[in-house]
Amino acid sequence: MSTAPPAGTPTGTPEYLRAAVQRLLAAHDPAHTPAAEFLGARYDAGLAWIHFPVGSGGLGAPRALQQLVNDEFTAAGAPVLDSGRHGIGLGMAAPTLLAFGDEEIRRRFLRPLWTGEEVWCQLFSEPGAGSDLAALATRAVRDGDHWVVDGQKVWTSLAHEAQWAILVTRTDPNVPKHRGMTYFICDMTAPGVEVRPLRQATGEAEFNEVFLTGVRIPDAHRLGAVGDGWRVATTTLMNERVAIGGHAEPREGGLIGLLAGTWRERPELRTPGLHDALLRLWVDAEAARLTGERLRQQLAAGQPGPEGSAAKLAFARLNQQISGLELELLGEEGLLYDDWTFRRPASPSMLQGTPGYRYLRAKGNSIEGGTSEILRGIIAERVLGLPQEIRVDKDVAWKDLPR
């Protein structure tokens, strides 16, 4: 492969990376290369996640330089995956597979995940276990070199589109809840996986109920040790919060840009009160953007920390306030909705939706990926060092917990 790093090259320098990007762009003109093919070449060149090891889409380069690589590709108009469809794969499955998957797993899963050929979903929440994820009841029982899984998951985004899922199960009900969980990769096309659309407040079914009945998962698709699923899940969740809130954006890059655009184009809608509210939100959006930028500069090499929770919390509040104001600004038009017919989106996106959709969908931002209350608790305890909540279930075997 012409774009692979030659042996002995200092692959972690900006100069090397810039040159590598240019070589790749020269060999695969983004304007005339199908997206999946381009992304495959980018993966093979180690320019997907540059801090991943060679062979897993990376170069073992400093994570801090990823943005530089992304910026170069963006400037060249290179394709990127749609984060609505591939957010769970890119933001959550990939870092977890890297941290806990063996060579075999990484080789099998990371490339098609990166090219977008395989979509991922997250089988975590259950009807009885949302915020208290560690209370989950879906059982996995060992059967030779396989596990057999039975249970029900809920609110699973894009389960209807996904080939693969990250799945947390209970493998030992006789120990306290955090200690008896095990984490798997689940084939969504396996017998016994049944996906039923679950309609949400927007009218569409972006998420689903997933019934798992006697689903057989090879032990080779286990991530982390048996009983260590909570630790693996924590890695996923930390990455989730960063993925949701911590990306670099240009000024007016998010929902605020749409609102500001409407303000500029529709002078007849303007009122003094809305003007004041708009400017407040514009300032808040700028603060959130700069915070994300600073977080990125600071995180540079490290793993995502609880700071991601702050970004996610701020992002949820901002989206809700902006989309709420947008409807008010539209006034009479805000009384209408585009379409209540039942839909199952393949690629949900707030930016492409209509104002009414955005308003409703934003309400999910403070629930999905950990509610804002849970995130405040995480910040208070892990960042600020305040005393933990009283835990009444910490030393009780899972099977003895009141349900």
Partner 1 sequence: MSTGRGPGGTGQRQPPDLGYSEVEQELRANVRALVAARSPQSAVLARTESAEPVDTGLWRALGAELGVTGLAVPEHLGGAGAGWRETAVVLEELGRATAAVPYLGSCVLATAALLAVGDTELLPGVASGERVAALAVPFATAPGAAFPVGVTATGDGLLRGAVGRVADALTADVLLVPALTAEGSPGLWAVRGAAVDPLVSLDMTRPLADLRFDGVPGRLLARGPDALAALDAALTTGAALLAAEQLGVAEWALETTLGYVRTRHQFGRPVGSFQAVKHRLADLWVAVTQLRAVARYAADTVATGSPDAPVAASVAQAFASQVAVTAAEEAVQLHGGIGFTWEHPAHLYLKRAKSASIALGTADRHRARLAGLVDLPYPVQEQQA
Ligand X SMILES: Cc1cc2nc3c(=O)[nH]c(=O)nc-3n(C[C@H](O)[C@H](O)[C@H](O)COP(=O)(O)OP(=O)(O)OC[C@H]3O[C@@H](n4cnc5c(N)ncnc54)[C@H](O)[C@@H]3O)c2cc1C
Positions touching ligand X (CB under 6 A) are 121-122, 124-125, 130-131, 155-157, 207, 364, 367-368, 370-371, 373-374, 377
Taking the least distance from each CB to partner 1, the nearer of 225 and 283 is: 283
Residues with Cβ within 8 Å of 293's Cβ and at least 6 positions away in sequence, in order, are 248
Query: Out of ligand X, partner 1, none, which partner does residue 156 contact, by CB within 5 to 8 A per kind?
Result: ligand X
Let me know how long the chain is: 403
Q: How far apart are the first and last CA of the chain?
A: 56
Tell me: does residue 1 bind partner 1 (CB under 8 A).
Answer: no
Helical H runs in 209-299? Answer: 229-245, 255-265, 272-299
Indicate whether 257 belongs to the interface with partner 1 (CB under 8 A). yes
Distance CA 164, CA 210 (A): 13
Shortest Å distance, C-beta 73 to ligand X: 28
Smallest separation (angstroms) from partner 1 to the CB of 90 = 23
* 393 part of the interface to partner 1, by CB under 8 A: no
Residue with tokens 């009807």: 127
Tell me if 385 contacts partner 1 by CB under 8 A: yes
Nearest residue (CB) to partner 1, 32 versus 264 = 264
In the region spanning residues 232 to 251, those forming contacts with partner 1, defined by CB under 8 A, are 250-251
Is 240 designated active site? Answer: yes
Q: Is 389 in the site for partner 1 (CB under 8 A)?
A: yes
Cβ 64 vs Cβ 15: under 8 Å? no
**379 is written with which tokens?**
């910040």
**DSSP code of 261?**
H
Residue type, 332: E
- 69 forms part of the interface with partner 1 (CB under 8 A): no
**How far apart are the C-alpha atoms of 242 and 245, rounded to whole Å?**
5
When the beta carbons of 40 and 95 are compared against ligand X, the nearer one is 95
Number of C-beta neighbours around residue 281 at 10 A: 20
Contacts (CB under 8 A) with partner 1, residues 278-337: 278-280, 282-284, 286-288, 290-291, 293-295, 297-298, 307, 310, 313-314
Contact 295, 246 (CB under 8 A): yes
User: Rule CB under 8 A: is residue 260 a binding residue for partner 1?
Assistant: yes
Instruction: Indicate left, alpha or beta for 385 from its phi (over 0: left) and psi (-120 to 50: alpha).
Output: left
130 binds, options ligand X, partner 1, none, Cβ within 5 to 8 A by partner type: ligand X
Distance of CA 64 to the CA centre of its chain: 20
Q: How far is the C-alpha of 350 from the C-alpha of 53, rounded, in Å?
A: 34
Q: How far is the CB of 363 from partner 1 (least distance, A)?
A: 19
Q: Which of 72, 240, 307, 368 is catalytic?
A: 240
Residues forming contacts to partner 1 in the complex (CB under 8 A) are: 250-252, 257, 260-261, 263-264, 267, 270-272, 274-276, 278-280, 282-284, 286-288, 290-291, 293-295, 297-298, 307, 310, 313-314, 373, 375-377, 379-381, 383-390
Known catalytic residues are: 240
